[in-house]
Amino acid sequence: MNENSSPDDTKRPATIEHAPPLVSNAHDLVPAQSGTGLPATIRRPSRRRWIRIALALAILAGGAGGAYYWWQRLHPPLPPGIAFGNGRLEADEINIDTKYAGRIAEMLADEGDLVAAGQVVARMDTRDLAASLKKSEAQVSQARRAVDEANANVTQQKTQVLLAQQEFDRATALLKKGFQTQEVVDQRQQQLNGAIAGLEAATARVTESQHALEAATHDVELYNVEIADNTLVAPHEGRIQYRIANIGEVLPAGGKVFAMLDTSYVYMDVYLPTETAGKVRFGADARIVLDAYPKVAIPAKVSFIASQAQFTPKIVETQSERDKLMFRIRVRIDPERLRGRADIVRSGLPGITYVLTDTAATWPASLQGTSGQ
């Protein structure tokens, strides 16, 4: 201990001069009372941080406003008299079935193939029918020979009738002159009656033979039809969607072999609320805009309007609430417009259908549609 120091100096704690501050910014600390009675600090956002947050919000608001502006430029509001609804492009599905039970012998198409109307897509095993056809053709030949024989018998009976008539006439003339007896005349009469009866029987046999020939001919036609029906063809132009059976499978009558899409009947079903559906008329002009081709407006016509309202299916998106009753509206593309374009028809593509609810309304430029589409 220094001799110049006082006794009280030994009791004072040592101090450190020029101690660094504990925080970088005194404004970030706010005194608070803790449970120990010692001062505590709570950090609060700085002014610079508030400025950054405000700047970010301003940028987001500006971006949203710009996006909305461009969306309005790309999707201008519809004029009055035009309604719209969401849906999916559909084409009629046709099942290519067997008419008779049998085994598949040949497959000439596969899934995804584009087929023309009348094109053969499969053949069934018709060996049993071919054998029956040959039997019927033999019966036809036999029936024709029977008809020829019956006609020959008719000719023969006609000569017998002619001879019997001549003998009867001669006997009658001689009887008048007294050179013939009545007994001979009666005999000639009986011969004439017998010859006439034979002619009638021969004529009936001709008719019978002709009917037998017709029956055999119909059997041949029937087997030909059955063989033709066992050759499966596409009823319309379209695309094979599913192959349900394979070669060698035995199918019952009505067994499905292919499922194809009829590309001549393409439509879209949409659901409109009551106040809008009530203004739609059959044959009203419509436009279909697919999500895949947003710049192409496909002309169509209203072909169906549901007579009863129903709940909107969950797969259909509408702007109205789902618990409201909606009316199903179908718009169909003109088959002539689809002729020769089966390769570009795609079933299931989502899109929007626009329908004229007012005949005085006009389509905007984006929905005009052209004959080349």
Amino acid 43 reads: R
In the prediction, which pLDDT does 253 show?
A: 94
**DSSP bridge pairs for 122:** 107, 232
Q: How far is CA 156 from CA 49, 57, 126, 153, 191, in A?
A: 128, 117, 45, 5, 15
* 12: helix, strand or coil: coil
Amino acid 65 reads: G
Residue ranges in the chain modelled with pLDDT below 50: 1-38, 40, 68, 70-73, 322-323, 371-373
Q: Give tens-digit pLDDT for 100-151.
A: 999 999 999 999 899 998 999 999 999 999 999 999 999 999 999 999 998 9
In the prediction, which pLDDT does 67 show?
A: 55
In the prediction, which pLDDT does 3 show?
A: 40
Rounded to whole angstroms, the Cα distance separating 242 from 307 reads 33
Q: How far is CA 141 from CA 31, 67, 128, 137, 334, in A?
A: 123, 85, 20, 6, 52
Check if the beta carbon of residue 264 is closer than 8 Å to that of residue 333: no
**pTM recorded for the entire structure:** 0.60
In the prediction, which pLDDT does 33 show?
A: 47
Q: Give tens-digit pLDDT for 33-87.
A: 444 444 545 555 567 777 777 777 777 766 666 554 544 445 556 788 899 999 9
In the prediction, which pLDDT does 338 show?
A: 81
**CB-based contacts of 260: which residues, under 8 Å, 6+ apart?**
93, 94, 96, 115, 234, 236, 238, 239, 240, 241
Nearest to 270 by CA among 256, 280, 255, 262: 280
**DSSP bridge pairs for 268:** 89, 331
In the prediction, which pLDDT does 330 show?
A: 94
In the prediction, which pLDDT does 224 show?
A: 95
